[in-house]
């Protein structure tokens, strides 16, 4: 089976402004790094926007209406989350790409895949955008999977920043397990080990904050000792990854030391975890990563790994 990559040139129209880290060059650098495409990868360069109903599964109606009301206009959600006249369309397309990828995996049209999208999403809560994020792409994908019949969805967040929005959206649910490994005491200053979910979702949130300077070995241990046993207990039908690459040793946004090979190893672990109960169905969703060279190289390394996993007979 194939690895499906989804993107759209209209995603480049989200332009937060000169010197803003979340620039269109991020996606452009990834697409350059993927030339030529790894064997087994299919790149789809046009996606449909997510519908308001799909957005409202995880966002409040008031917030969805607020964002849609800014379509075609420059503005800002907050000081960091700035909008150009193409940003709302890009945010709708980013969410729509994640919905389309989930459908392809659940319908058996691809084994795994990567939504190469921006703006990122994992900081967006149900009622506000923040941290460069407008809509919570991975949460929208998870909610769509559940609506399509998946019983349990595992979300793995390896971005260097804690996915506070994703955690908050699902913290009271037991059909979504949220696992985050991130740099401790970094924006948005959440994700402590004592945050484990609430009500019916108690025990379905697991945070592993790592100290500054942590690298491949520490990330590997977190996945082996914390994530793998959790996944074996939870038995997901689908695994989603908030795939940020700002923990890379060359990235300027934090102080972690993960290598390109280290990210490929994390991707391999996730694919292995997904095999027994999810049939290898893994969808990566792009989050952060701000050093262009390491971002492109790390995404390519993960895509190559996904292609190898998709090509194996089990």
Name the DSSP letter for residue 293.
H
Closest Cα to residue 123, out of 172, 154, 81, 74? 81
Say how many domains are in the chain.
1
pLDDT of 36-94, one tens digit each? 999 999 999 999 999 999 999 999 999 999 999 999 999 999 999 999 999 999 999 99
Cis peptide before 188 (omega within 30 of 0): yes
The position carrying tokens 């332009």 is: 15
For residues 120 and 243, what is the distance between their CA atoms, to the nearest angstrom? 10
Domain of residue 281, CATH code:
3.40.800.20
Percent of the chain with pLDDT over 70: 99
CA distance 101 to 261: 25
Q: Which residue in the list 14, 123, 161, 248 is annotated as catalytic?
A: 123
The CB-side HSE value for 205 (13 A sphere, CA atoms) comes to 27
Spatial CB neighbours of 190, under 8 Å, sequence gap ≥ 6 = 162, 164, 167
122 assigned to active site: no
For position 312, what pLDDT does the model report?
A: 81
pLDDT tens-digit readout, 269-282 = 999 999 999 999 99
- pLDDT tens string 240-271: 999 999 999 999 999 999 999 999 999 999 99
Burial class (CB in 10 A: 0-12, 13-18, 19+), 110: buried
Find the domain containing 35 and state its range: 3-311
């Amino acid at each position: 089976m194939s690895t499906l990559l989804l993107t759209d040139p209209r995603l480049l129209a989200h332009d937060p402004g000169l010197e803003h880290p979340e620039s269109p060059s991020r996606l452009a650098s990834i697409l350059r790094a993927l030339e030529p495409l790894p064997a087994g990868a299919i790149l789809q360069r046009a996606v449909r926007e997510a519908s308001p109903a799909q957005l409202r599964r995880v966002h409040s109606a008031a917030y969805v209406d607020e964002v849609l009301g800014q379509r075609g206009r420059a503005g800002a959600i907050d000081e960091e989350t700035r909008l150009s006249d193409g940003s709302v369309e890009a945010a709708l397309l980013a969410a729509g790409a994640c919905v389309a990828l989930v459908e392809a995996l659940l319908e058996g049209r691809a084994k795994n895949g990567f939504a190469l999208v921006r703006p990122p999403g994992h900081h967006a809560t149900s009622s506000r955008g923040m941290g460069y994020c407008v809509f919570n792409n991975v949460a929208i994908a998870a909610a769509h999977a559940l609506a399509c019949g998946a019983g349990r969805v595992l979300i793995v967040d390896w971005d260097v920043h804690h996915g506070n929005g994703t955690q908050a959206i699902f913290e009271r649910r037991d059909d979504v397990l949220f696992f985050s490994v991130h740099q401790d005491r970094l924006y948005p200053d959440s994700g402590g080990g004592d945050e484990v979910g609430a009500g019916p979702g108690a025990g379905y949130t697991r945070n592993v904050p790592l100290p500054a300077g942590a690298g491949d070995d520490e990330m590997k241990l977190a996945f082996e000792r914390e994530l793998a046993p959790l996944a074996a207990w939870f038995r997901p039908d689908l695994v989603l990854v908030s795939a940020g690459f700002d923990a890379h040793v060359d990235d300027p946004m934090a102080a972690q030391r993960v290598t390109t090979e280290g990210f490929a190893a994390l991707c391999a672990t996730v694919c292995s975890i997904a095999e027994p109960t999810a049939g290898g169905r893994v969808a990566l969703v792009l989050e952060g990563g701000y050093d262009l060279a390491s971002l492109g190289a790390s995404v390519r390394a993960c895509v190559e790994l996904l292609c190898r996993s998709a090509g194996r007979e089990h």
